[in-house]
Chains A and B, each alone.
Chain A
Amino acid sequence: MLKITDLHVQLEEEDKKILKGVNLTVETGKVHAIMGPNGSGKSTLSYVLSGREGYEVTQGSAELDGEEILEMDPEERAAAGLFLAFQYPVEIPGVGNMTFLRTAVNAQRKARGQEEMSATDFLKEVRAKAKSLKIDADMLKRPVNVGFSGGEKKRNEILQMAMLEPRMCILDETDSGLDVDAMKLVADGVNALRDEGRSFLVITHYQRLLDHIKPDVVHIMADGRIIKTGGPELALEVENNGYADLLEGTA
Chain B
Amino acid sequence: MSATLQKNTPAAPDLASALARPPRGGWVEAARAAAEARLEQTGLPGRRDEYWRFTRPDTLTAPEAGTAALLKDDEAPFFGGTDCLNLVFVDGAFDADASDKLEGTGLTIERLADVAATSDHWAQELYGVLEARGQKPVVRPLAAINTARATDGLLIRATGKVEKPIAIRYLRRDADADAMLHSVVRVEEGASLTLLENGPAAARFNSVLEVDLGDEAAFHHIRTQGRDHERREATHIFARLGRESLFKSFTLSANGALTRNECIIEMTGDDGVAHVAGAALGDGASGAFHHDDTIFVTHDALRCESRQVFKKVLRNGAVGVFQGKILVKAGAQKTDGYQISQSLLLDEDSQFLAKPELEIYADDVVCSHGSTTGAIDETALFYLRSRGVEKAEAQDLLVLSFLAEAIEEIDDADLAANINDRLAAWLRRRRS
**Is residue A249 contacting chain B, with contact meaning CB distance below 8 A?**
no
B386 near A84 with CB under 8 A, answer: yes
Expressed in whole angstroms, the Cα–Cα distance for A51 and B402 within the complex equals 24
B389 near A107 with CB under 8 A, answer: yes
From B404, which residue of chain A is reached at the shortest CB distance? A94
B401 near A75 with CB under 8 A, answer: no
Q: What is the distance, in angstroms, from A18's C-beta to the closest C-beta of chain B? A: 17
Scoring A77, A79, A107, A143 by chain B CB atoms within 10 A of each residue's CB, the highest score goes to A107
B405 partner residues in chain A, CB cutoff 8 A: 93-94
Q: What is the distance, in angstroms, from B422's C-beta to the closest C-beta of chain A? A: 15
- Fill in one digit per residue for A59-96: 1 if any B CB lies within 8 Å of its CB, else 0: 00000000000000111011100011010011011110
Instruction: Say yes or no: A74-B400 contact (C-beta < 8 A), given A90-B379, A94-B405, A107-B390.
Output: no
Q: What is the distance, in angstroms, from B101's C-beta to the closest C-beta of chain A? A: 39
- Fill in one digit per residue for A142-157: 1 if any B CB lies within 8 Å of its CB, else 0: 0100000000000000
Expressed in whole angstroms, the Cα–Cα distance for A93 and B404 within the complex equals 7
The residue from B379, B388, B400 contacting A104, defined by CB atoms under 8 A apart: B388
A111 near B386 with CB under 8 A, answer: no
B383 near A89 with CB under 8 A, answer: yes
A94 near B401 with CB under 8 A, answer: yes
B387 near A104 with CB under 8 A, answer: yes
Residues 178 to 220 of chain A near chain B (Cβ within 8 Å): none
Chain B: interface residue count, which band?
Answer: 20 to 34
B400 near A94 with CB under 8 A, answer: yes
Expressed in whole angstroms, the Cα–Cα distance for A93 and B391 within the complex equals 18
A44 partner residues in chain B, CB cutoff 8 A: none
Expressed in whole angstroms, the Cα–Cα distance for A93 and B402 within the complex equals 8
Instruction: Say yes or no: A51-B400 contact (C-beta < 8 A), given A90-B379, A107-B393.
Output: no
From A109, which residue of chain B is reached at the shortest CB distance? B388
From A166, which residue of chain B is reached at the shortest CB distance? B388
**Is residue B318 contacting chain A, with contact meaning CB distance below 8 A?**
no
**Is residue B398 contacting chain A, with contact meaning CB distance below 8 A?**
yes
Residues 28 to 47 of chain A near chain B (Cβ within 8 Å): none
B388 near A92 with CB under 8 A, answer: no
Expressed in whole angstroms, the Cα–Cα distance for A111 and B389 within the complex equals 9
B401 near A74 with CB under 8 A, answer: no
Residues 89 to 120 of chain B near chain A (Cβ within 8 Å): none
**Is residue A243 contacting chain B, with contact meaning CB distance below 8 A?**
no
A100 partner residues in chain B, CB cutoff 8 A: 384, 387, 397
Scoring B378, B390, B391 by chain A CB atoms within 10 A of each residue's CB, the highest score goes to B390
- Fill in one digit per residue for B184-208: 1 if any A CB lies within 8 Å of its CB, else 0: 0000000000000000000000000
B391 near A73 with CB under 8 A, answer: yes
A143 partner residues in chain B, CB cutoff 8 A: 401, 404
Expressed in whole angstroms, the Cα–Cα distance for A160 and B390 within the complex equals 16
Expressed in whole angstroms, the Cα–Cα distance for A13 and B385 within the complex equals 22
The residue from B386, B389, B402, B408 contacting A103, defined by CB atoms under 8 A apart: B389
A94 near B386 with CB under 8 A, answer: no
Chain A: interface residue count, which band?
Answer: 20 to 34
Expressed in whole angstroms, the Cα–Cα distance for A100 and B405 within the complex equals 18
A95 near B385 with CB under 8 A, answer: no
Expressed in whole angstroms, the Cα–Cα distance for A164 and B386 within the complex equals 11
A95 near B401 with CB under 8 A, answer: yes
B404 partner residues in chain A, CB cutoff 8 A: 93-95, 143
**Is residue A174 contacting chain B, with contact meaning CB distance below 8 A?**
no
A104 partner residues in chain B, CB cutoff 8 A: 384, 387-389
A74 near B403 with CB under 8 A, answer: no
Expressed in whole angstroms, the Cα–Cα distance for A116 and B404 within the complex equals 26
**Is residue B382 contacting chain A, with contact meaning CB distance below 8 A?**
yes
The residue from A78, A89, A93, A160 contacting B385, defined by CB atoms under 8 A apart: A78
Q: What is the distance, in angstroms, from A104's C-beta to the closest C-beta of chain B? A: 4
A53 partner residues in chain B, CB cutoff 8 A: 378, 382
**Is residue B71 contacting chain A, with contact meaning CB distance below 8 A?**
no
From B420, which residue of chain A is reached at the shortest CB distance? A94
Expressed in whole angstroms, the Cα–Cα distance for A86 and B402 within the complex equals 22
A107 partner residues in chain B, CB cutoff 8 A: 387-390, 393
B382 near A75 with CB under 8 A, answer: no
**Is residue B380 contacting chain A, with contact meaning CB distance below 8 A?**
yes
A95 partner residues in chain B, CB cutoff 8 A: 397, 400-401, 404
Q: What is the distance, in angstroms, from A193's C-beta to the closest C-beta of chain B? A: 16
B379 partner residues in chain A, CB cutoff 8 A: 90
A50 near B400 with CB under 8 A, answer: no
Expressed in whole angstroms, the Cα–Cα distance for A41 and B263 within the complex equals 54
B401 partner residues in chain A, CB cutoff 8 A: 92-95, 143
A92 near B397 with CB under 8 A, answer: yes
Scoring A50, A100, A111, A164 by chain B CB atoms within 10 A of each residue's CB, the highest score goes to A100
- For the A-B complex with A93-B405, A95-B404 known, give 7 more contacts whose Cβ atoms are closer than 8 Å: A52-B382, A75-B391, A77-B386, A90-B380, A92-B401, A100-B397, A107-B393
List 18 A-B residue pairs with CB atoms under 8 Å apart, sorted by A's residue number: A50-B386, A52-B382, A74-B385, A75-B390, A77-B386, A79-B388, A92-B383, A92-B397, A93-B401, A94-B403, A94-B407, A95-B400, A100-B387, A103-B397, A104-B387, A107-B387, A108-B388, A111-B388
Interface residues, chain A, CB within 8 Å of chain B? Answer: 50-53, 73-75, 77-79, 83-84, 86, 89-90, 92-95, 100, 103-104, 107-108, 111, 143, 160, 164
Give the top 6 A-B pairs by smallest Cβ distance, nearest first. A94-B404, A78-B388, A108-B388, A104-B387, A74-B385, A90-B383
